[in-house]
Every structure is written in C-alpha cells, then in structure tokens.
Chain A
Amino acid sequence: MPAPPAPDPPDADAGLELLLSRLLRAGVLASMGILLAGIAVGFVHHPQRLLDRDGLAPLIAPGSRFPHTVPQVIDGFDDFAAPAVIASGLLVLLATPILRVAVSLGGFARRRDWTYVALTGYVLAVLLVSFLRGRAG
C-alpha cells in the first residue's frame, strides 16, 4: 500500500520564513557594508602601506595585534581605527545566526507552538552558554 501523500507544511511557517530570510539578508548586508567601510578607512589612513611589500607581515603574522574583545572593539571606535571597524563587521556576521534562533523562538511563541518554543529555547540556551564560556575562558 503506498503511503498517503505528504501533507502541506503548516501555513504559519511562511510568515516566519519570510521574516528569517529578511533578517539574514539584513545581517549579511550590514556586515558587508561595515567590512568594506573598515577596509576603506584603513586605505585612507595609510594609503602607502597598502602597496608596501613589508607592510603585510605585521598585519597577519602570528602575534599581530588587533581588537578581539567587545570593549577593545568599542575603544577602537574612538579614533575610528580600521581594525576595530572591521572587527565590528565580523561580530555582526557571527551574531546573525544567534539572532536568527532568537527570532525563531519569538515566532513559535507568537503562535503558541510550545513544543518548538521548548526546542528552540534549548538551542538558544546552549548557544548563549557556550558564547559566554568563550568570553570567560
């Protein structure tokens, strides 16, 4: 006996999908804009360094200095330093998936789909704990 045809996915999913698609697009475009701005700032501040053969190693060799905590990124914005601007663009990119899980949680809660609220809430909790653990360790 053939299985019955697959049912339609729940209608309410379409709204959440559109919202998540827009969120991803916004996160990605914002991150790209900030990254390009950061590279442009670096170019304006040090136009000669960009074409200098000796200019690369200090930037990418092990032990090179750049902001890698949120306070350092914020401090770097005082003098609009290129590494801080670029790092903030990267943070936007890294935070987008976490934001996406949070928005899904809201979407499932709005239509009282408690099973999925629980599943999504669990994923979000694990993500936040490991993110904070990274900050501590």
Chain B
Amino acid sequence: MNPLEFMLAAFGVSLAAGLFGAVLGLGGGTVVVPALTLLLGIDIRYAIGASIVSVEATSSGAGAAFVRQRLTNIRVSMLLETATTTGAVGGAVLAGVVAGRWLFLLFGALLALSALEMWRRPRHLPPARVPPDRLAERLALCGAYHDDAAGRDVRYRASHTPWGLAASACAGLVSGLLGIGGGVVKVPTMNLVMHMPFKAASATSNFMIGVTAAASAGVYFYRGDVNPYIAAPVALGVLVGAFVGARVMERARSSLLRAAFTVVLVAIAAQMVWKGLH
C-alpha cells in the first residue's frame, strides 16, 4: 500500500465510523480502533490516538447541526458533564489499582441489562407522565424540538436527575478505567433513567462525548500518540461522515434509531464479556 492508497482507505473507513457515530450518539471508537488495527495494520497506540481525534470530529461535526435543530440539551449536558469529567479523573487515578478483568465483566453485564430495558420499554418519545423532580425543575432541565420523522413538535422534561448524575459519574469512572467511550452509557442514562426522548438523548450524548474526550486528548497528543499521517485522513473522513449522519438522524424515525442502538449495545456488551473472560 502506498501513502495515497492508505489515506484513501483510512478516509473511507472513518467516513463510515462518523456516519454511524453521529446517527447513534456514539464516539465511533468501537469502529475506528478495530478498523485501523485489524484492516490497516496500524499500531494500537496510534489507533487509540486517532480514535480520540475521531470522537472530537464526530461530536463537533454533527453537533453544529444538532444544536441548531435544538435536539441537543445544553443544560442537561453541562450538568451531567460535571459528573462524567469527575468520574473520568477518578478512573484515571484508580487505573491499575482495580483489576480490569472483573470491570469488563461487570460493565458487559450492565450494558446487557440496559439493552434488555431498551427492548422491553419502547420509550422513544417522552411518556405522558413524568414523575416530578425538584432538581430538574430548579435547573430548568426541559426541552422542545421538531421531530422531522414524526412531523410534530416534541416537548419533554427530565426526571430522576440525581440517579442520572450517579449513572454519569459511574460512566465517567468506567471510561477513565477502561478507556472506552461514554456514549454507550450516556444514551441509556438519559433515555431510560431520565425519561428524555431518544433523539434528544442521542444528540446530547454526542455533545457530551466531545468534552469528555477533550479531557484526555491533551495527554494523548503530548505523549506522541496522535500521528498526523493517520489522524488527518481519519479526522476528514469522520467529519464528512458526521455531516451526513446528522442529516440522517434528524430524518430517521426514533423507534428505528432506538432499535439500531439496542443492537449495538448487545454487540458491545458481548465484546466486553469476551474481553473479561480472555
């Protein structure tokens, strides 16, 4: 493979990762890292450095459209980010103290449970009754957006905010310990625990992953893990994919997005259990 072919291949793989990540509110690291290491033979260190870049590219590339469409809930994102960033710092400190093996198994089981809940309770739009939550009222955690696929305006309010905060802190802790993106935990937290509609949960997760990844991006860059020849085609591909993915997400039916997310959740849960057992 010559440098031109390599750049085109990395661009193509990343385009798919950006599209997938933007549509489901995930960072795309689950696509970028295996694609770079297994398909293109890149060293794992550079693959992880490029995947941090891809998370930022997905978040900012799709975020511009989501924020303008009012799908992103800035207030919810700010509140939960206090918990995720604190958890991530704690996780980085604890890394090496706690055995990764059991964590992978525990995390895999947790994701499998979320997938089961996702499947059992079809909660893609806000439920008619949301239990009152004093913290959410005080912090004005509510939102409204126009759902293109449903052809109507959707209004919602967040609920069970303290539980949402606790789940976010755990998500940050786990991502700091295991180095996995938090999108896969953030979306179910907002959708299942806090009763937010799926599209708002996914767009808000997309907004948050950029900030969580920024906390570690500096470390990776200065350590020399971000190789420009690998990261540049990845960034460009993911950005183009995320632009397209944002349009797809705005127009797709919430129930379909939620079903696709559930499938991904099962796949990642299986991957975590596999890692824990081997």
B229 adjacent to A66 (CB under 8 Å): yes
- B226 adjacent to chain A (CB < 8 Å): yes
Complex interface bits, A22-44 against B, C-beta within 8 A gives 1, otherwise 0: 10110110011001101100000
A51/B4 contact (C-beta < 8 A), A122-B82, A130-B219 known: yes
Complex interface bits, B116-146 against A, C-beta within 8 A gives 1, otherwise 0: 0000000000101111100000111011100
A3 adjacent to B132 (CB under 8 Å): yes
In the complex, what's the smallest C-beta–C-beta distance from A137 to chain B, in angstroms?
A: 7
- Our pick among A21, A89, A120 for the contact of B232 (Cβ within 8 Å) is A89
A/B interface sample: 10 pairs, CB < 8 A: A39-B232, A68-B223, A83-B228, A97-B56, A115-B138, A116-B139, A126-B89, A130-B89, A134-B216, A134-B222
A7/B217 contact (C-beta < 8 A), A28-B64, A97-B211 known: no
| CB neighbours of B82 from chain A (8 A) | 119, 122-123
B60 adjacent to A119 (CB under 8 Å): no
B232 adjacent to A35 (CB under 8 Å): yes
A135 adjacent to B222 (CB under 8 Å): yes
Q: Which of B27-35, B68-76, B94-102, B249-257 lines the interface with chain A?
A: B68-76
Interface residue tally on B, bucketed by range: 35 or more
- A74 adjacent to chain B (CB < 8 Å): no
- B163 adjacent to chain A (CB < 8 Å): no
- A98 adjacent to chain B (CB < 8 Å): yes
B219 adjacent to A123 (CB under 8 Å): no
In the complex, what's the smallest C-beta–C-beta distance from A18 to chain B, in angstroms?
A: 7
